[in-house]
Structure 1
Amino acid sequence: MPISPPQTAGAAPSGVPAALGAYVIWGFLPLYLLLVTSVPPVEFVGWRIIWTLPFCLLIVAFRKQFPALRAALSKPRTVIALLASAVLIAVNWLVYIWAIMQHQVYAASLGYYLNPLLNVLLGTLILGERLTRWQWLAVAIAASAVALLSAGALTTLWISLTLAFSFALYGIVRKQIDVGSLPGLTIESGILLLPAVGAAWWYSASAGGSSFGNEWFLSLAIVFSGVVTAVPLLLFAIAAKRMSYSALGFIQYLAPTIVFILGLTVFGQQLRPVQLGSFILIWIAVAIFVADLWNRNRQAKAAVRAAV
């Protein structure tokens, strides 16, 4: 990996370390989930929400963002939008955790390879944005990958599509409201707190009992879910403010690539020919997509320099 040159005094800090940190954490998240495989996915999502809220509040206090939190809560439209985004992110978390615990690692990886391409398509359909010819080609190739899976791996296709659509729609909703990443997650966690407590209580009252509070290591791992939820999101928010869209768009493929490698190695999941063919198509689509973003970013910078 190339080493970034030292920054001169007064130079804007680079967002690359924060972006790498966020996507590396997200990429290695399946290893963390191996520690909590004994916890039912619905119960774990409940505990994840419960422990994410206080950790977010601590960071909000540290970053002095309570005014932004109060401002968002004072706007009914923002709260309604965050209610929708909270439901979408809860669905995303639940399906992802279930998929990893069921060793459907490739399906989860594919979902996040599809996500950026789906973001572009939904931006066109919902926000009226325009795609370049290369982006249309990338979307068409990605659609071919989905069609291939529907022909040979239909039983896991729903996982990839649910992850891709839920996170893409989550991004669309969050893009429409003026609220920061961390205050937004804090409010979303607060909205989801009641059903999360209900899920945790239901499992504690069931015959099997609660997964929390019996074994100290498992309980500590459950508490740690708040950290692995809030920290990468905070790093991502920092990176998004300091990096160009094209550079961040390139780094975001690090996470599903790590998940794919974990599927091959740690999880030892068999890669069927139809899945390999789908991944190859997705990788081609991703290469076209990233190359187009990078080229347009270079052209934009050249135009700015020429105008100066």
Structure 2
Amino acid sequence: MQTEKSGVLWAVGSYLIWGLMPIYWKHLEHVASTEIVVSRIVWAFIMTLLVVLLIKGGRHLKEDILTLWKSQWDFWLLFFASALVSSNWFIYIWAVNHNYIVQTSLGYYMNPLVSVLLGIFFLKEKLSRAQQTAFLLATIGVAILTVSYGKFPWLAFSLAVTFAVYGLIKKKIQLDALRGLTIETFFIVPFAVIYYVWLFMDGQAAFLHVDSKTNILLILTGAATALPLVMYAKGVQRIPLYMAGFLQYIAPTLMLFIGVIVYQEKFERIDLLSFSFIWSALLLFTVSKVLEVVKMKKSLL
């Protein structure tokens, strides 16, 4: 029970950080989204590598890389995952700093549903009648948004798909959370460094050229990336998966609140109607998963 309690605290902490992150990125809206992303990659790599070395995990990190290299499929699959999550970071930061926080929250509400769809197609998982109904409700919600916007909500969809595919790959390749993040950022850091060098040579870099606050915030993007991921990994190891799934709605709910209340983004009746369908879908989906787990536990007694 104590282990599960600490797991809930770790998981809730990670989702609270993710949910509040739009405020952090807003303080960097004077910096180009591409520079924020490459800064995030570079500093996340430096920070995670230092932590791994400090906890004497260098040998394990080397073993992880060698094991991956022996399986070329896993090696390049993880490389693709690192490119995907970098794309997700860019879309998310660009959306926040261009006043699309509400759409980012929609994307992360859609994410678990897209993950389940991927599970059906690639892992041959099956859905119950309640879960099929949940998908129908979510589809109606997205359709309402599409009609009201006059175009498909590509930002939300891109966020949901890139993170869901990233999650699917991570499910197939089991790695320690901290060392896994170090390897992922290691894959993409050469491209980030080359781009940063070009920014400096072209005189477009904000780092070291604006003010000390900007420099500190850009350096801390590494911690902002790594900390919630490590907290999340610690949490999900200690709590049931259905509980982790339920708790993950903390983040997009906070994003939605921040977008509408703090930054005064548009949220009209049609948006409320659309989100209501999606919230209903998520509630139905989560309850059905909880009931499945309870039923399974009873059958084992």
Question: TM-score, length-normalised on structure 1?
Answer: 0.92
Matched, 1:244 2:236: no
Residue in structure 2 matched with residue 57 of structure 1 by the alignment: 49
Residue in structure 2 matched with residue 226 of structure 1 by the alignment: 222
**Structure 1 residues 156 and 95: alpha-carbon distance in aligned structure 2, compared to 1, 3 A threshold:** farther
Matched, 1:163 2:155: no
| Higher mean displacement: 259-268 or 13-22 | 13-22
Residue in structure 2 matched with residue 79 of structure 1 by the alignment: 75
How high is the sequence identity, in percent, across the aligned residues? 32
Amino acid at match of 1:289: F
Q: Deviations over 1:165-197 (max 9, x none)?
A: 000000111111121222121111111111111
Contact 2:14 2:232 in 1 (8 A): yes
Contact 1:212 1:219 in 2 (8 A): yes
**Structure 1 residues 63 and 239: alpha-carbon distance in aligned structure 2, compared to 1, 3 A threshold:** farther
Contact 2:95 2:101 in 1 (8 A): yes
| Higher mean displacement: 17-26 or 170-179 | 170-179
**Structure 1 residues 52 and 284: alpha-carbon distance in aligned structure 2, compared to 1, 3 A threshold:** same
Contact 1:104 1:156 in 2 (8 A): no
Q: CA deviation at 1:54?
A: 1.2
In 1, Cα distance between equivalents of 2:62 and 2:197? 29
In 1, Cα distance between equivalents of 2:84 and 2:120? 20
Q: CA deviation at 1:136?
A: 1.2
In 1, Cα distance between equivalents of 2:55 and 2:246? 28
Q: CA deviation at 1:154?
A: 4.5
Residue in structure 2 matched with residue 32 of structure 1 by the alignment: 24
* Secondary structure of the structure 1 residue equivalent to 2:262: coil
Contact 1:142 1:282 in 2 (8 A): yes
In 1, Cα distance between equivalents of 2:293 and 2:55? 31
Q: Deviations over 1:240-290 (max 9, x none)?
A: 110001111110000000000001111111113332221111100011011
Q: In structure 2, which of residues 224, 229, 250 is the aligned counterpart of residue 254 of structure 1?
A: 250
**Structure 1 residues 260 and 133: alpha-carbon distance in aligned structure 2, compared to 1, 3 A threshold:** same
Residue in structure 2 matched with residue 16 of structure 1 by the alignment: 8
Matched, 1:48 2:48: no
Q: CA deviation at 1:12?
A: 6.5
**Structure 1 residues 42 and 156: alpha-carbon distance in aligned structure 2, compared to 1, 3 A threshold:** farther
| Higher mean displacement: 257-266 or 70-79 | 70-79
Q: CA deviation at 1:202?
A: 2.4
Residue in structure 2 matched with residue 69 of structure 1 by the alignment: 61
Q: Which runs of 5+ in 1 are unaligned?
A: none
**Structure 1 residues 155 and 181: alpha-carbon distance in aligned structure 2, compared to 1, 3 A threshold:** farther
**Structure 1 residues 131 and 66: alpha-carbon distance in aligned structure 2, compared to 1, 3 A threshold:** farther
Contact 1:27 1:256 in 2 (8 A): yes
Which consecutive aligned stretches of 4+ in structure 1 deviate over 3 angstroms post-superposition?
62-65
Amino acid at match of 1:121: L
Contact 1:81 1:174 in 2 (8 A): no
Q: CA deviation at 1:23?
A: 0.2
Q: Note the 1:291-306 alignment, pairs <5 A.
A: 291-304=287-300, 306=301
In 1, Cα distance between equivalents of 2:54 and 2:293? 35
* Secondary structure of the structure 2 residue equivalent to 1:270: coil
In the alignment of these two chains, the number of paired residues is 296
The CA RMSD over aligned residues, in Å, is: 1.6
Residue in structure 1 matched with residue 200 of structure 2 by the alignment: 204
Q: Deviations over 1:27-50 (max 9, x none)?
A: 000010111111100111001101
Question: TM-score, length-normalised on structure 2?
Answer: 0.94
* Secondary structure of the structure 2 residue equivalent to 1:264: helix
